[in-house]
Amino acid sequence: MSAPAPPHALLRPRVALPFLTISLIWGSTWFVITGQIHGVPPQWSVAYRFMLATPAMFGLAMATRSRLAMPARAHLLAVAVGLCQFAGNYSLVYQAERHLTSGIVAVMVGIMIVPNAVLGRLVLEQPITRRFALGSAVAMAGIALLLVNEARGARVGGNVGAGVWLAIGAMLAASVSNIIQANKTGRSVPLLALIAWSMLYGTAFDIGLAWIMAGPPPPMPGEAYWFGTAYLAFAGSVVTFPLYYGLIREIGAGRAAYHNVLVVIVAMLISTLLEGYQWTTLAVAGSALSLVGLLVALRAKSV
């Protein structure tokens, strides 16, 4: 008698719980970031975020007894991840939100599904199944509708073209870091240690970039700013990155990136409650297509 088929990837608790946690937290961070880019140079907001997150990540690694010592090649990988993820990606995201609404930036970063899958195939030899390709096509159609809807109704300022390119750069930087952290070198060291060292190197890049682009640290902002920074640092970084990088190793870079679909929808729901976002036929259709694509892609029996 044959053994029962394993549950679909999304139905496994060790996948479903981190997936939903990441989506809910990162879906809320887009709204919080909007309070980080006014009155304080975005570069310093990114630096402050990871200046808080880095000690907490080292603390988490030590609390879980993760070995912090790593070989030189792992430190080189941590430098690359820090530069791409904790410096490049976030610096570009914060800058993009100066020109585009947070909804448009969230939707554009959601396109990470495609480069994650392609780079995962080329670098990590993770397969791209027909089911995943079909689900991605459906989800991309939904994202396109969401982008059209956001572009129609958004009140944008500044250089829109620059905002688009900044968002694309942020998406590609994050995708590269997603893939390289899961290579053979990354898997040879404890995940929490790799993230902690990556954050440390990324924070150093952030501080240097902030000082070059915006000068010395500005006057201390108010309490609301620091509450937002703490949320982004601890919930939006220390909690989520170990879960997300673990998902990449568990179900592959392409499927893990599908959290961006739910992130966009969560961000839009929060915008509805807190910013008076108005749902349109395009928004409803885009959200529905995105969810259908998500479910199709994640119903593969193997990971």
- What are the residue ranges spanned by the domains of the chain? 9-298
- Predicted local distance difference test score (pLDDT) of residue 6: 46
Taking the C-alpha atoms of residue 228 and residue 243, their distance in angstroms, rounded to an integer, is 21
DSSP string, 66-127: ------HHHHHHHHHHIIIIIIIIHHHHHHHTTTS-HHHHHHHHGGGHHHHHHHHHHHS---
**Cβ-contact 175, 116 below 8 angstroms:** yes
Which candidate, 208, 187, 221, places its Cα nearest to that of 86? 208
Residue 191 · residue 246 · CB < 8 Å: yes
DSSP structure class, residue 234: I
Instruction: Give dist(CA 32, CA 108) in Å, integer.
Output: 18
Residue 138 CA: distances (Å) to CA of 141, 166, 173 = 5, 25, 24
Q: Could you tell me the pTM of the whole model?
A: 0.84
225-258 pLDDT, tens digit per residue, is: 999 999 999 999 999 999 998 888 888 777 777 7
Q: What is the pLDDT of residue 211?
A: 96
Confidence (pLDDT) at 302: 44
Alpha-carbon gap, residue 210 to 90, rounded angstroms: 12
Question: How far apart, in whole angstroms, are the C-alpha atoms of residue 298 and residue 26?
Answer: 20
133 touches 292 (CB < 8 A) = no
- Pick the closest to residue 80 from 167, 169, 173 (CA basis): 173
Q: Which residue has the tokens 């440390």?
A: 200
pLDDT of residue 159: 64
Cα 129 to Cα 133: distance, rounded to the nearest angstrom: 6
Compute φ and ψ for 180, nearest 5 degrees. -70, -30
Based on DSSP, count helices (H) and strands (E) in the chain, helices before strands. Answer: 15, 0
Q: Distance between CA atoms of 189 and 177, rounded to whole angstroms? A: 16
**Can you give the pLDDT at residue 35?**
87
Q: What was the pLDDT predicted at 11?
A: 56
The predicted pLDDT at position 200 comes to: 97
Which parts of the chain sit beneath pLDDT 70?
A: 1-13, 153-160, 275, 277, 298-303
Residue type, 14: R
CB 83 within 8 A of CB 205: yes
Burial 139-175 (b: 16+ CB within 10 A, else e): bbbbbbbbbebbbeeeeeeeeeeebbebbebbbbbbb
